[in-house]
Amino acid sequence: MQKIVCLWVCLFGLVCSAHGQNAAAACGNGRYVEDIFTDADIQTTSGVLFGRNTVRSYTTNTEGPPKDLLLDVYQPAGDGAVQRPLLLFAFGGAFVTGSRTDAEVVSICRRFARKGYVAAAIDYRLMQLDGPTLAANAAIYANNLADEVVRATNDMRAAVRYFKYDAAGANAYHIDPARIFVGGYSAGAITALQVAYTDTDTENSNAAVNAAYATYGGLEGNTDLPGTPLLGAYTSKGLVGVVNLAGGVNDLGLLSAGNPPLYSAQGTTDDVVPYNCGTIQPTQFTICGSGALQPVATAAGILNQLHPVANGSHSSPVTDPEYTQIINEAAAFLQPLVCAAPLPVTLTSFSGRVAPDDCTATLAWQTATEHNSYAYEVQGSSDGQAYERLSTVPSRNRAAGASYSFRVGRRVELRYFRLRMLDIGGAAAFSPVVALASCSGAPLVVAPTPSRDQATVSGLPAGRCIGVLYSATGQVMAQASGTTTISLRLGGLAPGIYLLKVQHESGATVGTAKVVKE
């Protein structure tokens, strides 16, 4: 009997050990995507010191005394999971105001904690201005925003290092250091995107940003934990994903293959952070928001999802009726990243063509691997938003992949198509969206050819489209958007041949064209 008890204890210990190996071991029963805890279950640990750094007065151009940087941790009490994913979330406020205790930040952290996450609302240093209003300090704000973005970025990186340090020792918060996500709202989202997508401290196209990195300690920055130096021992690399609510990047070229997956939500008429590309007023600091991020992320092979709030404002992603849906969507997007759930297939291509004589369409797709693959549900849409099932194509379920085609037949209003890829167990994943041209089969037209200062792109489907111009080496050179045509400014580009990729605001790929600059 004693041997049996001992064996049971050993086996139980092995199970517990396996359960504690990583966050994925706790997956199941809706964890990380559904509310498995109540709001009353959430325990808050406030005022945790994670870093310290000086605060700069931009009015006098002097560094003030060091400021303690604190964070608040939200976690489900009594949770049996030994290691859990962590979401670090930063507040908004134009880098001038805001707090980790802002209502929307607390709500987001608590909602993710209800799903089984550990969530942390963090401090970051704000721009110190002496005037009573932002308008009174417009020139100072405009001249120093790039510097302030890097300082905020340094502080978020320090928070990542703090949790990695804790996980390697006491692990007071029971996190999996290989499952750390960053996110934010507005300025906080700009900060999180800068952390996630800046790979080197010299890659930004904005000289002021690169200069700030050089001044403040390089890529990892110079914000550190007082008394326990973490710089050099831990890094902020290896993030698993980003939650971007009404934020953007100043340089689309920061997004490259291998970068973390991205969930974004933003109002399409945001008047604070541009939905596509524009400047943050009253500065000349360029920001490209969620609408511009999606096609570039897709082109770089970065897993991404966008929730555009039609005619929505800057606050739309953090206010109902959209807010609850966005939180649930974001959780569903992140859950496979936590649980490492394999997709039914590895899809390598999905395309379509229109027959100009009878207006029929044919879809074709290729897979590299198929594992427990059951079928491909072909879906179509007239607006890129609401989809209907057209047919189901059985999967060949071949480990080495297979090729498929499906004839849609004569289309009436359907112009957007996607695949719902089903596995034998009932799990599913969606393909990218393909947008087909009108029944005339007209291709994208670039005029004039060659072009000197400006090129106009026509042949677009209905709705807003975004065109991204790439060099021969894959660098983003220009970007513009439009509804019936797109106008590209080419004046600053060297003569040569460029590749234009056009994507619909729904995420659908419209097509490509060659642009010749003389």
Torsion of CA 281, 287, 290, 291, to 10 degrees: 90
In this prediction, residues 434-452 reach a mean pLDDT of 76
Which residues span the domain enclosing 406? 345-434
Which range of 100-104, 254-258, 492-496 scores highest in mean pLDDT? It is 100-104
Residue 299 CA to residue 295 CA, distance in Å, equals 6
Indicate if 427 and 455 belong to the same structural domain. Answer: no
pLDDT grade for 201, boundaries at 50, 70 and 90: very high
Indicate if 365 and 466 belong to the same structural domain. Answer: no
Residue 108 CA to residue 119 CA, distance in Å, equals 9
Indicate if 38 and 71 belong to the same structural domain. Answer: yes
For residue 324, is it within any domain? no
pLDDT grade for 503, boundaries at 50, 70 and 90: confident
Which of residues 434, 468, 501 is at a domain's end?
Answer: 434
Residue 184 CA to residue 94 CA, distance in Å, equals 12
| Range 295-306 burial, b when 16+ CB lie within 10 A, else e | bbbbbbebbbbb
pLDDT grade for 2, boundaries at 50, 70 and 90: very low
Which range of 52-66, 186-200, 455-469 scores highest in mean pLDDT? It is 186-200
**HEC profile for 251-270?**
CHHHCCCCCCCEEEEEECCC
Helix (H, G, I), strand (E, B) or coil at 330: helix
CB half-sphere exposure, 459, CA atoms < 13 A = 21
Indicate if 184 and 251 belong to the same structural domain. Answer: yes
Indicate if 449 and 428 belong to the same structural domain. Answer: no
pLDDT grade for 339, boundaries at 50, 70 and 90: confident
pLDDT grade for 441, boundaries at 50, 70 and 90: very low
| CA angle centred on 347, ends 344 and 348, rounded to 5° | 160
Residue 261 CA to residue 246 CA, distance in Å, equals 16
Q: Could you report the per-residue pLDDT of 299-319, keeping only the tens digit for each?
A: 888 888 899 998 999 999 999
Residue 19: Cβ within 10 Å count: 14
pLDDT grade for 20, boundaries at 50, 70 and 90: very low
For residue 358, is it within any domain? yes
Residue 12 CA to residue 211 CA, distance in Å, equals 55
The overall average pLDDT reported for the chain is 86
Indicate if 162 and 76 belong to the same structural domain. Answer: yes
Indicate if 34 and 157 belong to the same structural domain. Answer: yes
Indicate if 166 and 200 belong to the same structural domain. Answer: yes
pLDDT grade for 10, boundaries at 50, 70 and 90: very low
Strand 416-423 versus strand 373-381 pairing type: antiparallel
Indicate if 146 and 184 belong to the same structural domain. Answer: yes
For residue 78, is it within any domain? yes
Residue 88 CA to residue 80 CA, distance in Å, equals 21
Handedness of CA 60, 212, 90, 265 (dihedral sign): positive
Q: What single-letter DSSP state applies at residue 102?
A: -
For residue 282, is it within any domain? no
Quote helix, strand, coil % in the chain, to nearest 5. 25, 35, 40
Residue 462 CA to residue 485 CA, distance in Å, equals 10
For residue 157, is it within any domain? yes
CATH number at residue 392: 2.60.40.10
**HEC profile for 121-174?**
EECCCCCECCCCCCHHHHHHHHHHHHHHHHHHHHHHHHHHHHHHHHHHCCCCCC
CATH number at residue 114: 3.40.50
| CA angle centred on 369, ends 368 and 371, rounded to 5° | 165
Is the pLDDT higher at 477 or at 75?
A: 75
| pLDDT value of residue 442 | 56
Is the pLDDT higher at 198 or at 80?
A: 198
In this prediction, residues 358-386 reach a mean pLDDT of 84
Residue 208 CA to residue 144 CA, distance in Å, equals 9
Handedness of CA 28, 29, 35, 40 (dihedral sign): negative
Helix (H, G, I), strand (E, B) or coil at 310: coil
| pLDDT value of residue 257 | 82
| pLDDT value of residue 481 | 85
Which of residues 434, 464, 497 is at a domain's end?
Answer: 434
Which of residues 259, 283, 303 is at a domain's end?
Answer: 259
**Domain count of the chain?**
3
Indicate if 69 and 191 belong to the same structural domain. Answer: yes
CATH number at residue 510: 2.60.40.1220
Indicate if 102 and 190 belong to the same structural domain. Answer: yes
pLDDT grade for 7, boundaries at 50, 70 and 90: very low
Indicate if 411 and 477 belong to the same structural domain. Answer: no
pLDDT surpassing 50 at residue 135: yes
| CA angle centred on 292, ends 502 and 215, rounded to 5° | 135
For residue 153, is it within any domain? yes
For residue 317, is it within any domain? no
Q: Say if residues 192 and 242 touch (Cβ distance below 8 Å).
A: yes
For residue 244, is it within any domain? yes
